[in-house]
Amino acid sequence: MRLNDKVALITGGAAGVGKATAERFIQEGARVIICDVNEPGGKATASELGDNCTFFAVDISDRQAVQKWVEKVIAEFGRIDILVNNAGILRDATLVKVKNGELVKQMAEEAFDSVISVNLKGVFNCTQAVAPYMIHQNSGSILNATSVVALDGNFGQTNYIAAKAGVVGMTKVWARELGRYNVRVNAIAPGAIMTDMLRMLPESHLTELKKHQPLGRFGEPAEVANAYLFLASDEASFISGTVLRVDGGLVVGT
């Protein structure tokens, strides 16, 4: 019961890593509040996980919606001990596509803006809303989802990598700014994890990606959840400002 009586917020908690993290935290004694834009999925997850899981429909790119959500959580539960900034979206495309020397396609501005809005600004919105309460408590753990691609780069993901690299930077800034209040801030950098995002890739892409996995397989959401659990717990009481790769030793090819 490493999180006994802790109150944990998890964004993007309806499915995938967010759901697995909610389940793992509940197993360790936490009271979990998840949010997601997928209302049917979020309600189904909360129902499945039982009385210690509550769902709110929240778009984390909407600053006012986030603030209202956090205030409702404080009003009902009195504190927030853990924030997991897990929510994220993909809108992959190459920066430009050229054929016979002519520009034929480029990443749409909307694709760039939407990914930055959720994957970067959403993390900012949630953390800024929660931080004052953790400061008042003189305790807290903030966990941010970045990605191995933020560290290594990846073809066709300018927007996603810009956001996830920004999350790495914010993690280190906040670890410095909030440490004096006994608030720890860390990030997880998952590799290829078998979620709906990965399953959307063509089989040929998955086959090629697996060739770069020294362990010979993709990760499972529960394996990322276990990393979040460690960093959220008192076992990681002297760890802050770090980025922990959960990638099976992924080797990025050229």
Walking along the chain (254 residues) 10 residues at a time, the average pLDDT comes out as 97 97 98 98 98 98 98 98 96 93 95 98 98 98 96 91 98 98 98 86 84 91 98 98 95 61
Helix (H) or strand (E) holding 161: helix 158-178
Residue 30 is which amino acid?
A: A
Q: Residue 253's pLDDT is what?
A: 57
pLDDT given at position 166: 98
Phi, psi of 144 (to 5 degrees): -110, 140
Angle made by CA atoms 238, 142, 72, in degrees to the nearest 5: 140
Q: Which CATH class is domain 7-246?
A: alpha beta
* 3-state DSSP assignment of residue 214: coil
The residue ranges of every structural domain in the chain are 7-246
Q: Is position 181 annotated as part of the catalytic site?
A: no
- Cβ neighbors of 30 (< 8 A, separation 6 or more) are 3, 4, 5, 6, 7, 8, 52, 81, 82
Identify the active-site residue in 133, 160, 181, 228: 160
**Would you state the pLDDT for residue 212?**
86
Q: How far apart are CA 86 and CA 181, in angstroms?
A: 23
Please, where are the H alpha helices in 50-93? Answer: 63-77
Alpha helices in 32-121 (DSSP H): 39-49, 63-77, 109-116
Question: Exposed, middle or buried, 254 (CB in 10 Å: 0-12/13-18/19+)?
Answer: exposed
What is the pairing mode between strands 102-106 and 183-190?
A: unpaired
pLDDT score recorded for residue 254: 43
> Are 144 and 186 in contact, with CB atoms under 8 Å apart?
yes
> What pLDDT shows up at residue 11?
98
Tell me what pLDDT residue 104 has. Answer: 94
The pTM score is: 0.95
Instruction: For residue 115, count other CB atoms closer than 10 A to its CB.
Output: 24
